[in-house]
Structure 1
Amino acid sequence: MQIRYFITTILLVCFAASAYAQVEKAEAEIQNIMKELNVVGLSVAVVKNNEIIYTHAFGQKDIEKNIPLQENDVFRIASISKSFCATSIMQLAEARKLSLDDDFSDLVGFKVRNPKYPETVITLKMVMSHTSSINDSQGYFNLDAINPAKGGSWEKCYSDYAPGKGYRYCNLNYNMVGAVIERLSGERIDTYVKRHILDPLGLYGGYNTDSLDSARFSNLYEDDRAVGKYTTALTYVLRKDGFKDYQMGYSTPQFSPTGGMKISAPDLAKYMTMHMNYGKYKKTRIISKRSSKLMQTKVSDDEAYGLALWTSDNLIPGKAMKGHTGSAYGLYSAMFFHPREKFGIVVITNGCDPGYTNGMNTVLRKTINSLYTNLIK
């Protein structure tokens, strides 16, 4: 018995030493990536076998004040925000308040038709999968741009191809989806997502900047090549008027459902794990397994896009990863997971060299592969 205990102890010590060495190697590689690509700050979280096994923050969250980035600091995560809207829509679909095949015009409250194909119905699913033929040419922070009763150039919001016959990534799609969530739920978008997704999962974050602790916001820095330095992006604007003129189901872009979620990397990893487990995190189910799989199933072969989640076959060699990226105001974010092998990685940077490799920000790609090789593989 003593010999068995001794052997077990030795094995555990060796395993712990090996794991520590791999963490050290990953962190050294990440430090080199940051130096090579001028990264301001970087926050990461790694999930393996459904558990968060590693989180760390590197670099700075405030260059001017020399404040280091902390693991619980919050970022505006850009387009990963779309998945929170899609998750909300699946909840409403399960509650039979809407169908993905519904005419989007009926849901959003004004006519949504490509003038070149006026008889072709644009469905909610088309909007969520970016196959609606809608584009961002007229902007996306005001629904007047596409509302025929308000916008003088609404026709320009539509591409030349027929709805359902092509793919074009479009932020306006998801700001309109946010409006639909408000119209069908009776709750403002920030409140709905907090009550039905964030709170049940025990996550800190949200669309409403005013409701969050500003001390936890990480500054975002854009790489201004013209002046050869980083400039601070104004991304966490407070609304002291309390949204007094807010019109439910129409003013929704003020929260930017398409990109305005604020959350930390570790909490985003918990949310990611929910999707990795097809709608359930630990004992809390957010959406059904069927709804979750539908979100992860590509609708468009052009971009392998589903419903606010896409499939990437070239991120990690030999792995079909599910997830989303985000980029805005100098921030780059990535959330990708493997639902069968039960691992996933979140990486967020608040400023870096804006270069891309194979369709993804190079910092994100290199960091994800380092974390996978050292901590998962």
Structure 2
Amino acid sequence: MKKLTLTLIFLSIFINCFAQFEKTEAQITDLMKKMEVVGLAVAVVKDNQLIYQHSFGQKSIENNTTLTNTDIFRIASISKSFAATSIMQLAEAKKLSLDDDFGKLVGFKIRNPKYPETVITLRMVLSHTSSINDSQGYFNLDVINPAKNENWAKCYTDKAPGTSYLYCNLNFNMVGAVIERITGKRYDSYVKQHILSPLNLYGGYCVDSLDSQRFVPLYEYENKSFKLAEAAYAPRRQELSNYQLGHSTPVLSPTGGMKISAADLAKYMMMHMNYGKLGNTKIINKKSAKQMQMALSDEEGYGLALLNTTNVIDGVALTGHTGSAYGLYSAMFFDPKEKFGFVMITNGANGKMEKGFRAVTRETLGILYENLIKN
């Protein structure tokens, strides 16, 4: 009798889960029509387990192919957290300190000309409080090097370093260069060896090191139609053939160039959710992980390449990051205490904003939370 009761309980749970999955998929399908989404990959973690992954819609408009769970996307700015994680590893090994003068680390003077005596630290760069901006571009480190560009001063704002948040891609391309200078390894190789491979994740920054058949084409939404972003997976072979460690790093785009699947990104997210560990594999220690997640200002909620917010799902406190590039919108958010989290990546959608986030991101995560976490 007891065995029958347990069987009925497990059967009831299974039926309920299946019903919730069906409801989720129906709602996301409707959302995709409303938000004009090309393709969408999602992954959900609950009670520290990957409980759900699914791919919707098209991988390629031109070839009319269907998106699958093994396909990989360029994930844009979520990539920054891989750079910050690498820095925390080097800090733990005492190869550098978050309070080091960033100019000494990167190899040329980093000083806001309006505040020449104020040291700009690595911590400021990682938290976007460096007073550096992207006005001169961020695909070449020479733009901020006083010895290489006479307009270098334009790379700085009027705010004093350490006092104000300004999101800046140049910050993290320079961080990638620092990692190369400290380790003597190309940025993509370091991340693969010290983060991806230990976690058994398939991905990377270098296009030619990955299976091109798995790349998901990205589409920019313009005038209610989609245009293929051909530059999204440009191999940059010429630049790589002349690569200089600590200088050519933006070719690999530490600021936005990681390519990975939604499910593998969710596993990486679980490492941060568990304060640096996934199972028995430790990537960074608990103190480092908490430093990354701790907001350095109440207003923005940004830590070290991770953001704290209650706006991506109304009233729910989450930590993570978003990405936006070449028409792609991505998100990785988690609750380290309750042990749940989400990944969503779309290769093209209506990009309208809502409460500081893409509406497609907010609505997708809202559906996943209501059906698979809250209920």
- TM-score interval for Structure 1 and Structure 2 normalised by the shorter chain: over 0.9
Task: State the match for 2:229 in structure 1.
Answer: 233
- Residues 239-267 of structure 1: CA distance to partner in whole angstroms, max 9, x if unpaired? 44482211100110000100000000000
Aligned-partner Cα distance in 2 for 1:139–1:238: 20
Task: State the match for 1:258 in structure 2.
Answer: 255
Aligned-partner Cα distance in 1 for 2:76–2:122: 22
* CA drift at 1:373: 0.8
Task: State the match for 1:359 in structure 2.
Answer: 356
TM alignment of 1:149-160, pairs within 5 A: 149-160=147-158
- The answer on whether the counterparts of 2:332 and 2:343 sit within 8 Å (CA) in structure 1 is yes
Task: State the match for 1:197 in structure 2.
Answer: 195
Q: Which of these residues, 175, 178, 186, is aligned with residue 177 of structure 1?
A: 175
Q: Which of these residues, 31, 37, 40, is aligned with residue 39 of structure 1?
A: 37
* CA drift at 1:6: 1.3
- Residues 319-372 of structure 1: CA distance to partner in whole angstroms, max 9, x if unpaired? 210000000010000000000000000000000001011011111110101011
Task: State the match for 1:244 in structure 2.
Answer: 241
Letter in 2 for 1:154: W
Task: State the match for 1:217 in structure 2.
Answer: 215
SS at match of 1:201: coil
SS at match of 1:299: coil
Letter in 2 for 1:136: D
Aligned-partner Cα distance in 1 for 2:250–2:339: 34
Alignment of 1:162 onto 2:164: no
Task: State the match for 1:308 in structure 2.
Answer: 305
Letter in 2 for 1:287: I
* CA drift at 1:315: 2.2
* CA drift at 1:152: 1.8
* CA drift at 1:317: 3.5
- Residues 290-322 of structure 1: CA distance to partner in whole angstroms, max 9, x if unpaired? 000000001122311000001011222332100
SS at match of 2:197: helix
- Residues 9-53 of structure 1: CA distance to partner in whole angstroms, max 9, x if unpaired? 111111111110000001000001000000000000000111100
Aligned-partner Cα distance in 2 for 1:314–1:328: 21
Gapped runs of 5+ residues in structure 2?
A: none
- The answer on whether the counterparts of 1:75 and 1:264 sit within 8 Å (CA) in structure 2 is yes
- The answer on whether the counterparts of 1:167 and 1:302 sit within 8 Å (CA) in structure 2 is no
Gapped runs of 5+ residues in structure 1?
A: none
Letter in 2 for 1:285: K
Aligned-partner Cα distance in 2 for 1:272–1:161: 33
- The answer on whether the counterparts of 1:298 and 1:306 sit within 8 Å (CA) in structure 2 is yes
TM-score by length of 1: 0.98
Letter in 2 for 1:202: N
Task: State the match for 1:10 in structure 2.
Answer: 8
Aligned-partner Cα distance in 2 for 1:73–1:292: 28
- The answer on whether the counterparts of 1:219 and 1:350 sit within 8 Å (CA) in structure 2 is yes
Aligned-partner Cα distance in 2 for 1:129–1:300: 9
Q: Which of these residues, 291, 294, 308, is aligned with residue 294 of structure 1?
A: 291
SS at match of 1:315: coil
Letter in 1 for 2:228: T
Aligned-partner Cα distance in 1 for 2:111–2:304: 20
Aligned-partner Cα distance in 2 for 1:215–1:245: 26
Q: Which of these residues, 322, 327, 337, is aligned with residue 340 of structure 1?
A: 337
- The answer on whether the counterparts of 1:279 and 1:286 sit within 8 Å (CA) in structure 2 is yes
Task: State the match for 2:23 in structure 1.
Answer: 25
Q: How many residues are treated as equivalent by the alignment?
A: 373
Q: Which of these residues, 314, 318, 329, is aligned with residue 315 of structure 2?
A: 318
SS at match of 1:10: helix
Task: State the match for 2:106 in structure 1.
Answer: 108
TM alignment of 1:74-153, pairs within 5 A: 74-153=72-151
Task: State the match for 2:373 in structure 1.
Answer: 376
SS at match of 1:291: helix
Task: State the match for 1:207 in structure 2.
Answer: 205
SS at match of 2:299: coil
TM-score by length of 2: 0.98
- The answer on whether the counterparts of 2:220 and 2:348 sit within 8 Å (CA) in structure 1 is yes
315-324 vs 100-109, greater mean Cα deviation: 315-324
Instruction: Give the alignment's Cα RMSD to 1 decimal.
Output: 0.9
- The answer on whether the counterparts of 1:129 and 1:300 sit within 8 Å (CA) in structure 2 is no
SS at match of 1:274: helix
- The answer on whether the counterparts of 2:239 and 2:251 sit within 8 Å (CA) in structure 1 is no
- The answer on whether the counterparts of 2:236 and 2:251 sit within 8 Å (CA) in structure 1 is no
7-16 vs 181-190, greater mean Cα deviation: 7-16
> After the TM superposition, which parts of structure 1 deviate over 6 Å for at least 4 consecutive aligned residues?
none
Aligned-partner Cα distance in 1 for 2:240–2:77: 23
Letter in 1 for 2:242: D
